[in-house]
Amino acid sequence: MSRIQESVIIRTVVRIMVPFIELFALYVIMHGAGGPGGGFQGGVIFGAAIILYAMIYGIAEGKQKMSDALDRILASTGLTIYAGTGLLCLFFGGMFLQYGAVPLIPNDPATVSKYLIDLVEIGIGTTVAAIMISLFFDVSPPESEEGELPEELPDHEGVDG
Amino acid sequence: MIWILDITMLFFLVVCAIAAISIKDLLSAIIILSAYSLIMAVVWVEMHSVDVGFTEAAVGAGITTVLFIATLARTEGRSED
């Protein structure tokens, strides 16, 4: 365990912050159609919350909360939601992702399209979050020196060049 | 458009870019790259492209830095060239 991970202040702050970061990520995902944000950004923020948790509480603890199997399931679920919505539009005679073609509410393609855009955003967000987390677990240091941040790098005297 | 702010931001952008490629310590290079992304995000927002600025802040300054640092923890941390 590194010095950063032992700090009570950092552990407490991270424990309190993570739910709020996740809530903000959900807001960004759901608000994507009407303003700045969207599935990709929200997914990245959601992944960052889990990564923050895994960085401070250790990779092993993080993998307990977000195992590789769960990662894989979430990544493929998001893709299925996205592609499924697109194919649903194809099924009802529209083009791929032409939301208005789905007769969910009769004679109101605009509302249907609003709901289906949100569905697609959720799919994108799920996949992006899962991929970001698995990327971090893939590049993070191995179990033995778990979660060691490069504060203990051999030497960095700084600028020469 | 506040052009003095724009010029200042773009100047710092160039400074950060040159510093990031000329510095030998890789951790410093990563942090400078993160600062570059943050300035770039502000420049995007200044150019009324909030969505792109959002992405730049989340991906460029956030996730990329973390991934680079995690990768750096498995290497020596100094550039040879």
* Domain spans in chain A, listed from the N-terminal domain onward: 3-148
A158 touches chain B (CB under 8 A): yes
Q: Which residues of chain B have pLDDT under 50?
A: none
Closest-CA residue to A42 (of A136, A132, A135, A138): A132
A16 touches chain B (CB under 8 A): no
End-to-end CA gap in chain A? 34
**Neighboring chain A residues of B64 at a CB cutoff of 8 Å:** none
What average pLDDT score do residues A83-93 get?
90
Query: Is the pLDDT score of A16 beyond 60?
Result: yes
How far is Cα B45 from Cα A37, in angstroms, rounded to an integer?
A: 13
Residue A161 has what pLDDT? 43
**Neighboring chain A residues of B55 at a CB cutoff of 8 Å:** 40-41, 44
B51–A37 C-beta distance less than 8 A: yes
B80 in a structural domain: no
Which residue type does A74 have? L
Can you tell me the ipTM of this complex? 0.84
B48 touches chain A (CB under 8 A): no
Give the range of the structural domain holding residue B51, as residue numbers without chain letter. 3-72
pLDDT tens-digit series, residues A96-154: 888 888 888 878 888 888 888 889 999 999 999 999 999 999 888 765 554 455 454 55
B23 in a structural domain: yes
Beta carbons within 10 angstroms of residue A111's beta carbon: 13
B77–A150 C-beta distance less than 8 A: yes
**Neighboring chain B residues of A45 at a CB cutoff of 8 Å:** 58, 62
How many domains would you assign to chain B?
1
Residue B40 has what pLDDT? 93
End-to-end CA gap in chain B? 41
Nearest CA in chain A to B78: A156
